[in-house]
Amino acid sequence: MKLAIDTQLIHAGEDQRIEGAIRMPIFQTAMFEHDDDPLRYVRYNNTPNQTILNHKLTVLEEAEDALVTGSGMAAITASILSAVKPGDHLLAQNSLYGGTHKFIRSLLADLNVSVSFFDADAPDTWNSLLRTNTSSVYVESITNPLVRVCDLENIVEFAQANNLTSFIDNTFASPYNYKAAAAGFDFSLHSATKYLNGHSDVVAGAIIGKKEWVQKAGKNLAQLGGSLDPYACFLLHRGLQTLALRMRQHNATAQMLSEFLESHNKVNKIHYPGLRSHPQHERAAQWFEGFSGMLSFELHGGLPAANKLIHHLHLPVFAPSLGGVESLITRPVISSHSGLSPEDLKAAEISDHLIRISVGIEDANDLIKDFKQALHQV
């Protein structure tokens, strides 16, 4: 029987009831006694609190295999290193998460890996970027902070046609809104710190995808040491089970807040894939279950107005990161994109007064009222 994701989140992998316990106990032990199985050790990612998550994560994206990791960056680095070898060339979307960009520019560059940052929305240009040593292509399902949705379907086809390993960072969409592994990506990577855990109290990651690739990445992970400890696994397990409930609320609240902001006369520009005005709205509507909780906007009054608005808001917390139950507000130039030069910011179309919100699961009308009063004081 094919189960809906709400049911899978609760029941997948939950067939053992240890001592009859309804909840999986925390096995707060680094190693296990020898038995007939391979050596069990937390760094090898084969202990009970890890394997139950590995199973659940696999089912969520209809993938072949999955591994929970110690952070999003642990998932990303171990996975890239499994497919990209010294001397290879990598095609990477030109608006990546800062940590990923830094890894490609520093450690990968030290390994003599060359990179072309490319426009993942211009398929006509892709063939001309291929070199004989191009081995992989790397994109994100929804980009930060302009929440663009690139031509994901064509990326999968292009990768398959050219024998490239395909990577997607699916953190912003989450498996509820987009099953990237089912769509054909070899690797779907997540910062589980964000929506998968959803409560801003754990740093974790996930590698989801084709069995062959996940196992290769798992070998790297065991060597690099990026495994998740039992207590953090327990917290992630607990958070993950409400993913569907939370994502529906994030989707609905962000839609309402974005419509309110779009209609407000002090708002100059707004970016949210759920709005008809978003350049890739149709595509996102076709592929995604929902448009997620991330949006960004600019006010007519520039930076002074942005600062005033943030100052006068009561509910959203002024903080970086995303994906938790509480709304967070930040300016990307002082958080996720603080490492970029003024030229790079300009090329990425990120202004100093762009405001990004991670919309939480508060009541939408309360959030709208709060924005209304704060905008009134701008």
* Residues within the interface to ligand PLP (CB under 6 A): 71-73, 97, 99, 144, 169, 171-172, 191, 193-194, 203, 205
- Catalytic residue at 148? no
**Which residue type occupies 160?**
Q
> Nearest 5°: CA angle at 207, between 59 and 344?
130
Q: Which of 84, 31, 35 has its CA nearest to residue 227?
A: 31
> Nearest 5°: CA angle at 313, between 308 and 318?
85
Residue 73 to residue 76: CA distance in whole angstroms: 5
Nearer to ligand PLP, 47 or 144 (CB): 144
Residue 58 to residue 375: CA distance in whole angstroms: 43
C-beta of 5: minimal distance to ligand PLP in Å?
A: 21
Nearer to ligand PLP, 8 or 358 (CB): 358
- In the bound state, the residue with its beta carbon closest to ligand PLP is 72
Give phi and psi for 259, each to the nearest 5.
-65, -40
Nearer to ligand PLP, 203 or 309 (CB): 203
Query: Buried (b) or exposed (e) across 277-302, using 16+ Cβ within 10 A?
Result: ebebbebbeebbbbbbbbbbbbbeee
Question: Per the residue annotation, which of 169, 186, 195, 370 is the catalytic one?
Answer: 169
- Catalytic residue at 43? yes
C-beta of 215: minimal distance to ligand PLP in Å?
A: 21
C-beta of 185: minimal distance to ligand PLP in Å?
A: 15
- Catalytic residue at 97? yes
Question: Per the residue annotation, which of 194, 216, 331, 356 is the catalytic one?
Answer: 194
Question: Per the residue annotation, which of 6, 43, 229, 352 is the catalytic one?
Answer: 43
Question: Per the residue annotation, which of 97, 178, 195, 272 is the catalytic one?
Answer: 97
Nearer to ligand PLP, 71 or 255 (CB): 71
- Catalytic residue at 194? yes
C-beta of 322: minimal distance to ligand PLP in Å?
A: 6
Q: Which of 13, 26, 40 has its CA nearest to residue 233?
A: 26
Helix axes 72-83, 211-224, angle to 10 degrees: 110
C-beta of 69: minimal distance to ligand PLP in Å?
A: 9
* Residues acting as catalytic residues: 43, 97, 169, 194
